[in-house]
Structure 1
Amino acid sequence: MAAARSVRRPFAATEAPVTSTSTPPGLARFNALEEHAAFAALHEACASTAWARRLLAARPYAAPDDLYTASDAATAELSAEDLAEAMAGHPPIGRPKPGDPTSAREQRGMAGASEGLKTEMLELNLAYQERFGHVFLICATGRTGEQMRDAVKERIGNAPEQEREIVRTELGKINRIRLARIVEAD
């Protein structure tokens, strides 16, 4: 487990609060949400309760980069249990959550894949899950089905410790993309 690192708050308590005139509108709305609503938005972005609580505790954020930096730090410090909780919120590649447009958008690269590739990916997902005990996690945004298949083939031979760090990196990428959707909303 990584040593605990402190995350600098975006501004000191003595400074003026962040306002919508100095902060992008989506981020200002996020900063202004009641705690339970902000937690729900964060928990939807990443299923790790520890990650969501850490980002919630650091509000308000002066700029999107402050939120992304806090996310990166929180992701880096997730325990093995917290990482497992985060991964449990992700469906297998090729099987987006039914009725979830975010899941479908993120896995768009598999949507047009051939039936053969979809079947191969299902088999690889099962083999990966059997080896590592969790879903194959990759930042699928912008990747083709073939690229995802090649990645799982490459990663299935990794040592568990190496794969856990790759998963952590991929989760960080996914978290940033999902947070960007929150803060860039009009």
Structure 2
Amino acid sequence: MSRLDWLNGLPLEEAQAEFLRCCGSRRWAEGMARARPFAQETAVYTEAGWLWSQTGPEDWKEAISHHPRIGDVSQLRERFKATGTWSAQEQKGVQGASEEVLQALADGNREYEERFGFTFLICATGKGAPEILEQLRERLNNPPPLEMRIAAGEQAQITRLRLEKLLTSP
């Protein structure tokens, strides 16, 4: 049985739980679960993008709240068990960063959260700690409405990557 067939065959609540692993917006996950069955994987990605485009700031904040801070390994293990492995893979570029860079990320995360009211979110796959830190510092200068939209775009990228993982790995 293909992963797509498996996903299509799940009971509604179980499908919602799987979609929540990809994106923490309950409204989005419910919409994805109701949109099944999908004829092919591309339909999953198309529906995911369309449903995300129908969401707004409250949904975005809910989804962002399901992410650990960049570089916070203890938070990954404790709070994000359902997605911790995926998050650790996505943040692989932070591993081995110097203490100076890790401290700057921690300080930047605190400043970001104070300024915007939510966790700094970036699609970290393929990015090293210095690049992430540079983008964090740049984004601190954004007006809040713009930053919210940027973070929502980052969430959309992460969701796509996680849907691909959901559909390819048991």
Q: Give TM-score, length-normalised by structure 2.
A: 0.91
Secondary structure (helix, strand or coil) at the match of 2:119 reads coil
CA distance in 2, matches of 1:48, 1:159: 23
Larger Rg: 1
8 Å CA contact 1:75–1:171 kept in 2: the answer is no
* Residue 110 (structure 2) pairs with residue 110 (structure 1): no
Match of residue 9 from structure 1: none
The partner residue of 2:60 within 79, 83, 89 is 83
* Residue 98 (structure 2) pairs with residue 121 (structure 1): no
Gaps of 5+ in 1: 1-19
CA distance in 1, matches of 2:72, 2:42: 31
Following superposition, the deviation at residue 185 of structure 1 comes to 2.5
RMSD: 1.2
Match of residue 27 from structure 1: 4
| Matched residue type, 1:43 | L
The partner residue of 1:171 within 137, 150, 155 is 155
Following superposition, the deviation at residue 49 of structure 1 comes to 0.3
Return structure 1 stretches of 4+ with deviation > 4 angstroms. none
Following superposition, the deviation at residue 182 of structure 1 comes to 1.1
Secondary structure (helix, strand or coil) at the match of 2:127 reads coil
| Matched residue type, 1:109 | G
CA distance in 2, matches of 1:105, 1:181: 11
Percent identity over paired residues: 34
8 Å CA contact 1:76–1:168 kept in 2: the answer is no
Match of residue 168 from structure 2: 184
Q: Give TM-score, length-normalised by structure 1.
A: 0.84
Write out per-residue CA displacement over residues 34-86 of structure 1, whole angstroms, 9 at most, x where no aligned residue. Answer: 11211110111111100101111110111111111111112222222111110
Give the structure with the larger helix fraction: 2
Match of residue 36 from structure 2: 59
* Residue 131 (structure 2) pairs with residue 147 (structure 1): yes
| Matched residue type, 1:115 | E
Match of residue 134 from structure 1: 118
8 Å CA contact 1:47–1:88 kept in 2: the answer is yes
Aligned residues: 163
Secondary structure (helix, strand or coil) at the match of 1:157 reads coil
CA distance in 2, matches of 1:60, 1:40: 16
8 Å CA contact 2:67–2:119 kept in 1: the answer is yes
| Matched residue type, 1:36 | E
CA distance in 2, matches of 1:63, 1:154: 39
